[in-house]
Structure 1
Amino acid sequence: MGTISAAKIENNVNSDGKLAAKDYFVNHVNQVVAEVDQRMNGELAQEPSEYPCIDISSWMTTDNKKFNQEDRDKVAAQVAQQAIEAGSFNIVGHGIDLEFLDRLDEQSKKFFGMSLEDKKKHSIEASHHGYIPIQSESASTIYNRQDCKETEKKDLRELFAAVYPVEGNESEEPSFYREVLNEFMHHMNKLDRVLHKILALALARAKGVTLPESLFNDAKGTATAGLLRVSHYASMPPEFDNAFKLAPHSDWGPLTILYSHQVQGLEEERDGKWIQVPARRGEVHIVIGEVISAWSNLLFKNNVHYVSQQAPPDRVSYAYFCGQGFDLTRRDTDEDGMEPVCAPGETPKFGRISPRSHLLEYTKVYLSSNE
């Protein structure tokens, strides 16, 4: 594809003298893309010989008599290392039955295999979740990169979006799909809360400070709902040789839990190059988002990633965006957000940030650019 030139987004400073978070992260993603784009849109990047996979089973028990704090500390140390170095890692020991994951993928392929006319009967336009046709969105337009200006081609994927908690949703997805999606979101919500506890302890250890395990869960405030987006990636027609299946970006919320059923295609930046993320049976991929990166005062890295145009056809992935399934028309309360955690003598780079306030800044631009 040739070199992508990143449009310079100035790191604006707010009235309190702190960095404007959205501008900072947009600029960061653009810099990564500009510096590490050699393999982008070419052949699939190589899968590394080793990829970090952390067993979190010691954190999944609710019985205080059955867990070992030393084991939990080891997990937190492993998570801290990966959050600092790359902003992503795989996990096992999450407690989700592998046969259920097989069934989830079967039902997803059944849904996406329906005719377009039938899928549109379950359109997201009828409620806050549902079907989104192919080429309805582009993850790259938010970054104002030169490659976005040269082509109006949008991401080659179709989606089904759902919000957790499921109670009260006017859900119109087919009954065969509703059951597995709801069960999957229940699993994701449990993982959401556990992972935020692990990350709070990981940050405390890395900063040399004492923090409550509930720190990040509390900071989400009223933004406790999660957003699930199931993506089905299409084959690449010749006229889209410069398009992405999903353009380079980092995730706007605190944390993303990603599952892909043994089909590769996700590529991420590690150590100054693009690598292919393994999609091994039963492993779940964890991505540090911009909100937790800001809350850590940039100690934890927001991971930059994309889906290659060379990714296998018929790939289905499940991205659960923690703390992003909320009503954007509501205002933050005093419970929402927090200022960055700093080590002794460290200066905070940002002011108070909440998942809702950060997402709203992006939404203003994203909605206008995808009209």
Structure 2
Amino acid sequence: MAQVVSRNESWGKSIRVEKVQALADMIGGGGGEIPEIYIRPELDVGLTDQEAAIDDHNLPVIHMNRLLDPSFSVSTEESAKLDYACKEWGFFQLVNHGIDGELIDKMEGDLKEFFKLPLEEKELFAPLPGGLQGYGQKLLVNEEKLEWHDLLFLITQPLDDRNMKFWPTNPPTFRSTLERFSLELKRVLKSLFEVIGMKLGLKPEVISRVLSEYQGLRMHYYPPCPKASKVLGLNPHSDVGILTLLLQVGDVQGLQIKKNGKWLSVEAIQHALVVNVGDVLEILTNGKYISVEHRVTVTNKKERLSIAAHHRPKPDCMVGPLQEMLHEEEEHNYNYKTMSYDEYIQLYLSGKVEGKSHMNSMRANK
């Protein structure tokens, strides 16, 4: 059912499995059952969905145009909302971010067209053995259960790190659309992180010392599943980097965040970006901002797509509480260890990823 074909010890274990989209088509045509490797008997997504619907509207919505407003009172009020969102939720919806709606629609349309292509055509962009970029690669987190999605992963920034071999050429506009969309995400990320830095009292040189140009796009396709309440599109996890910008394609909900022990659904707002704090930002702020456990559920009737832009610190950045974040009385009150980014990633990969359990290894011994 699932065959291990290669392992990449730098960023996890790469496994080749039958494409979920092909499985869904086969099962939908009466050609078989869902393999047990996807089924989670203990899961009951149906119950949590009812709880989730209650608090959808409470997730903070941040207006980026207000963050950048020249009026001090307007920008101060909105940045206070941003600060609250990062401290209390670790997630927020970002609207009025300046990305043209037509470009977003075009990006969504091109991505849908790519995933509709015949499997053999999509396989032309499959990862190399041991590689991460391309179509269909999976990062092995749990050898017992697999996630119900297919993936197109591309490093889009900086330009020198791109490998155009894996950039789809069909539909014909895919590459040019992705190029424009990537640049717009880069602009939004830069402006957003500058506002976050100012709210945290960090000087511009500290911000430039921390944030790299890296942008990795994970484009997920979640087919309908006849046993949707017993599978997960993505396992519960927190993001390992600094900030993630997510575009939920269409109006199908699936992203859920864990708050106060309950899973809450994140509304799919047209053209909005869902932004979440990564583990590295939590560590850099000594826990003032929080990364939050989240997962993805699927439905039995509708497909769902999303585009997640992940951002990392610079390779030479030390991952630990920033001195600039601590007041004099807190100078020795570090909640997390300090180590190189490479050491941090190796620590992250050394154990089984379950929710945020890996963060326990980063906590300072007191």
TM-score, length basis structure 1: 0.72
Aligned CA distance change for structure 1 residues 300 and 248 (closer, same or farther; 3 Å): same
What's 1:230 paired with?
219
Contact 2:285/2:321 (<8 A) preserved: no
Match of 1:189 in 2: 186
Report if the CA contact (8 A) 2:246-2:307 is conserved.
Answer: yes
Residues 198 and 295 from structure 1, CA distance in 2 versus in 1: closer, same or farther, beyond 3 angstroms?
A: same
1:38 Cα deviation (Å)? 8.8
Alignment of 1:179-218 (within 5 A): 179-204=176-201, 211-218=202-209
Summarize deviations over 1:176-209 as a string: whole Å, max 9, x none: 32112221111111122122112222333xxxxx
Give the structure 1 partner of residue 245 of structure 2: 257
Cα shift at 1:337: 4.4
AA aligned opposite 1:183: R
RMSD: 2.8
**Which residue number in structure 1 is paired with residue 168 of structure 2?**
174
Q: Work out the CA distance in 2 between the residues paired with 1:344 and 1:311.
A: 55
Q: Which residue of 1 aligns with 2:61?
A: 53
Relative to structure 1, is the Cα distance of residues 236 and 354 closer, same or farther in structure 2, using a 3 angstrom cutoff?
farther
Q: Is the Cα contact below 8 Å between 2:246 and 2:274 reproduced in 1? A: yes
Indicate conservation of the 8 Å contact 2:67/2:76, yes or no: no
Q: Which residue of 1 aligns with 2:344?
A: 358
2:31 corresponding residue in structure 1: none
Give aligned pairs, total. Answer: 298
Cα distance in 1 between the residues matched to 2:346 and 2:62: 33
> Does residue 87 of structure 2 align to residue 84 of structure 1?
yes
One-letter amino acid of the counterpart of residue 215, structure 1: V
8 Å contact kept, 1:233–1:314: yes
Shift of 1:279: 0.9
Change (3 A) 1:194 1:85: same
Query: Is it true that 1:102 corresponds to 2:105 in the alignment?
Result: yes
Offset, 1:365: 4.7
Alignment check: 8 A CA contact 1:339 1:353 kept: no
Confirm or deny that 1:162 pairs with 2:154. Answer: yes
Amino acid at match of 1:153: K
The structure whose RCO (Cα within 8 Å, separation 6+) is larger is 1
| Alignment partners' CA distance in 2, 1:98 and 1:250 | 29
**Per the alignment, in what secondary structure is the counterpart of residue 124 of structure 1?**
coil
Listed one character per residue, the Cα deviations across residues 58-115 of structure 1 (whole Å, up to 9, x for unaligned) are: 455xxxxx72344332222111111111111101121101111111111001101111
**What does 1:39-78 correspond to in 2, within 5 Å?**
40=45, 42=47, 44=49, 45-46=52-53, 48-59=56-67, 67-78=70-81
Q: Percent identity of the aligned residues?
A: 22
- Structure 1, unmatched stretches of 5+, are 1-36, 61-65, 142-147, 205-210, 327-331
Amino acid at match of 1:358: Y
CA contact under 8 A between 1:297 and 1:350: conserved in structure 2?
yes
Shift of 1:41: 6.2
